[in-house]
Amino acid sequence: MNDALRTASSDIRALAQQVLPAASFGNLAGDIIIRDGHAGRVTDIDGREYVDLLLGSGPMFVGHGHPEVLSAIREQLERGFTFFANNEYGIRLAAELVDAVACAEQVRFVSSGTEADAFAMRIARAFCGRDKILKFEGGFHGMSDPALMSWAPKRPGNFPQASPDSPGIPRAAAGDVLIAPFNDAEMAAGLIHEHRDELAGVIVEPFQRLLPPKPGFLQALRKATQDAGVLLIFDEIVTGFRFAYGGAQEYYGVVPDLCTLGKIIGGGFPLAAIAGRADIMAQFDSAKVGNERFLPQIGTLSGNPVAAVAGLATLRILKRPGIYERVFATGRALMGGLTKLLRETGLPAQVVGEPPLFDLFCATGELSDYRATQRADGEMMRRFNRRMRERGVLKGDSKMYISLAHDDTDVAQVLSAFAYAIHAEAGK
């Protein structure tokens, strides 16, 4: 790194320490600052290049700076940045979502996954006239008060008691959330039946963080909620358009009443959506439900045209033949390589997830719910992540996202980084 670059890097890091709490945006630690991204790689302000397995926490599924997405964005920028009123491309994106996603008859846009999940829970309450929501321990549904119940509890309580994971949440909020263990169909069905008269909805990540659903689990939730007259909400902020063009509901073959979508559908811009049955979505339409039942939802950038054209361009790419097969092949190659290294070295760890989204868990035995994942060796994981970065691979604390842009050179570098990290751990 030359002197000028080193000075600029030092200055921006000092500025971050001054103006940002913990010198970060609150996502990753502030020790890495990204300058630019191209295809499957990013470069930091020190000039170091990385294979990017973070992908902006998932949105950059077709890679950074895809020429078709860039072209669509540039064309829209000449026409205007945002209008607050309806725009053609937001409407066309909504239509594409309706065509693609099984549960989607209508769509309402917001700007973030947190908003989408919060409104999905709110519309379930409005539609059913009941207050309680059931969620699963360890499930992440954004930063709203109900979403932060038992997301990452340090001292898990007895089910179905909810515990807040952040200061600043009113104590009363815990009373409107029930907690169940992921992948326990019998307990979930029992809680749904027991609380059917006060339960509005069940919200679930169909693929919870990195934990696949056990066979029959999602089907059991679907049956239990239908029998009880309770809405089933799939949080597909992460899985939407990632596992299949129709999302996790296509991949796993279970259709909820509502779902939330984000990340990929905005093509790297702030955009998310609530989608579902028309009779439920009618709560957003005062002409259909009347003023007493009308659910207001206003957002300055909801359906932003730049985000919409980026999303449309991204989805056009994903509709082409062979796209998902390519992503899955890349993911399988990496999962297989890491699994082989773990087997050869005998380390107490395993690969968990699906080919487009997986990671290492430093634990043995079955991992099917949040409490089981707490057996993992966190220090070992931190060493693994640090060594991966030393070898030019950027990943999140607990996820590896695979993109369409990752090529054979990227795969080879990641496999080499796996080997370095695992053999270094085995030789400690």
pLDDT digits (tens, 9 = 90+) for 295-334: 999 999 999 999 999 999 999 999 999 999 999 999 999 9
Contact 304, 270 (CB under 8 A): yes
DSSP structure class, residue 211: B
Residue 9 pLDDT: 84
- Per-residue confidence (pLDDT) for residue 157, from 0 to 100: 82
290 and 343 share a domain?
Answer: no
Q: What is the dihedral of CA 173, 111, 253, 316, to 10 degrees?
A: 180
Q: Is residue 17 part of a domain?
A: no
How far apart, in whole angstroms, are the C-alpha atoms of residue 76 and residue 79?
Answer: 5
Q: What are phi and psi of 258, to 5 degrees?
A: -135, 155
Q: Which helix (H) or strand (E) holds 369?
A: none
Dihedral over alpha carbons 331, 335, 338, 339 (to 10 degrees): -170
Same domain, 185 and 97: yes
Residues 162 and 304 in one domain: yes
Q: Are strands 357-361 and 400-401 parallel, antiparallel or unpaired?
A: antiparallel
> Within a domain: residue 179?
yes
DSSP secondary structure, 120-169, as one string: HHHHHHHHHT--EEEEETT----SSTGGGBSSS-SS--STT---BSSTTS
| Tally of domains in the chain | 2
Q: Express each pLDDT in 119-146 by its tens digit.
A: 999 999 999 999 999 999 999 999 999 9
Does one domain contain both 194 and 336? no
Residue 345: CB atoms within 10 Å: 14
d(CA 163, CA 179): 9
Structural domain contains residue 174: yes
Residues 96 and 48 placed together within one structural domain of the fold: no
Query: Where is 202: in which H helix or E strand?
Result: strand 199-204
* Domain presence at residue 167: yes
Angle (CA) 415 28 237, round 5° = 85
Residue 277 falls within a domain, yes or no?
A: yes
**Are 252 and 335 part of one and the same domain?**
no
pTM as predicted: 0.96
**Domain harbouring 106, CATH code:** 3.40.640.10
Q: Are residues 181 and 89 in the same domain?
A: yes
Q: Using CA atoms, how far apart are residues 171 and 321, in angstroms rounded to an integer?
A: 51
Does any domain span residue 26? Answer: no
- The CATH number covering residue 328 comes to 3.90.1150.10
Number of H helices, E strands in the chain: 14, 14
**Alpha-carbon distance 369 to 119, whole Å?**
26
Q: Rounded to an integer, what distance in angstroms lies between the CA atom of residue 404 and that of residue 407? A: 8
Same structural domain for residues 58 and 131? no
CA distance 224 to 333: 38
Please give the pLDDT value at position 182.
98
Retrieve residue 390's tokens.
Answer: 């030393």
- Cα-Cα-Cα-Cα dihedral of 236, 239, 241, 242, to 10°? 170
Q: Is residue 13 part of a domain?
A: no
Regarding whether 199 and 55 lie in a shared domain, the answer is no
- Last-in-domain residue among 261, 291, 318: 318
Length of the chain: 428
Domain boundary among 268, 298, 318: 318
Using alpha carbons, select from 390, 372, 348 the residue that is nearest to residue 51.
390
Based on the fold, state whether residues 297 and 347 are members of the same structural domain. Answer: no
Whether residue 22 is contained in a domain is answered as no
- Quickly tell me which residue has 């043995």 as its tokens: 364
> Pick from 100, 9, 11: which is nearest to 312 by CA?
100
CB 296 within 8 A of CB 269: no
Maximum C-alpha span of the chain = 68
- What pLDDT does residue 156 have? 84
Distance CA 247, CA 238 (A): 9
- In this structure, the answer to whether residues 329 and 393 fall within a common structural domain is yes
Provide the domain limits for residue 155.
Answer: 67-318
- Please tell me the predicted confidence (pLDDT) of residue 5: 57
- Tracing tokens 């950074």 back to the chain, one arrives at 64
The answer on 117 and 39 residing in a single domain is no
Q: Low-confidence residues of the chain, pLDDT below 70? A: 1-7, 428
Instruction: Point out the domain boundary residue: 298, 318, 338.
Output: 318
Task: Measure Cα distances from 172 to 131, 136, 146, 241 in Å.
Answer: 12, 19, 10, 36
